[in-house]
Amino acid sequence: MKAARALIRAAALAATLAATVATVHRLGRTYGSTPAERAADLPGDELVADAQFECQHAITIDAPAEVIWPWLVQMGWHRGGWYTARWVDLLLFPANRASADEIIPELQHLGVGDFIPDGAPETACGFVVQDLEPARHLVLRSNSHLPLSWRTRRHARLDWTWAFVLVPLDGGGRTRFTFRWRARTSPWWVRAFCWVAIVPADLVMSRDMLRGVKKRAERPGSLHLATPGDHGAGSVGP
């Protein structure tokens, strides 16, 4: 009887763990977005047409798209940051500076082909702007979010796009902010790592980023500009 009860408890624990993992994994792929939003075509989808991964998150912001856009334009490592909570950066990316809390004038000029760093210069890690329409969408692409030695020796490959899309609501007074990323990886062990670690982690990272943008855009005086050359502790330049 004791063995049977122990077996039942183990089975129940395994089932609970499996359900928890499945729930976190699903939320890592879909948090905040609706089925209709996930089914819609978005700018940049064609860049990784055969994607093995697609995660989409969304949030409603009580601010016009024109107010949100400047926060997106200045994103990047040692630029405006990615608007995640400071504890997340300190835990996972201690080299990151605090995300900007002001609009930085010298970071408001972004065009197709520009490079947005996502790590120290020696990592050569970052995104290239593929497409943008002010106050509508920003599409970034990367094949550099792997250790530099893996890339140079062709041990692994990653093709990754980020699409930020702003859709006006209620006559433009509010905005639906959608973030979709798509990726294709090789070989199999990189794909497995993404499935096991990156997708579930997206529940924290992407949700936090969307909330960070929302908090800043909804704040009174959101479009206040930082004084050039004097960003303060939370507003940083390249």
Domain edges within the chain:
50-218
pLDDT at 197: 81
Angle CA(157)–CA(158)–CA(164) in degrees, nearest 5? 170
pLDDT at 231: 44
pLDDT in tens, the chain (238 residues): 666 666 666 555 666 555 655 666 566 678 889 999 999 999 999 999 899 999 999 999 999 999 999 999 999 999 999 999 888 778 777 888 889 999 999 999 999 999 999 988 888 899 999 999 999 999 999 998 887 777 777 788 899 999 999 999 999 999 999 999 999 998 988 888 888 888 888 888 888 999 999 999 999 876 655 554 444 333 333 3
What tokens does 79 get?
């630029």
> Please, is 18 exposed, middle or buried when counting C-beta atoms within 10 Å of its C-beta (0-12, 13-18, 19+)?
exposed
Q: What is the pTM of this model?
A: 0.83
pLDDT at 92: 74
pLDDT at 19: 61
- Classified as helix, coil or strand, 43 is coil
- The rounded distance, in Å, linking the Cα atoms of 177 and 116 is 20
pLDDT at 118: 92
- Classified as helix, coil or strand, 174 is strand
List, as own/partner pairs, every contact residues 12-16 make where C-beta atoms lie below 8 angstroms and the sequence separation is at least 24, other chains included: none
CATH 3.30.530.20 fits domain 50-218? yes
- The rounded distance, in Å, linking the Cα atoms of 82 and 32 is 18
- The rounded distance, in Å, linking the Cα atoms of 49 and 110 is 25
- Length of the chain (residues): 238
pLDDT at 236: 34
- The rounded distance, in Å, linking the Cα atoms of 144 and 179 is 20
- The rounded distance, in Å, linking the Cα atoms of 117 and 76 is 6
Task: Report the candidate in 229, 212, 228 with the shortest Cα–Cα distance to residue 100.
Answer: 212
Asked whether the beta carbons of 184 and 51 are under 8 A apart, the reply is yes
Beta bridge partners of 138: 132, 164
Q: Which amino acid is at 76?
A: G
- Classified as helix, coil or strand, 106 is helix
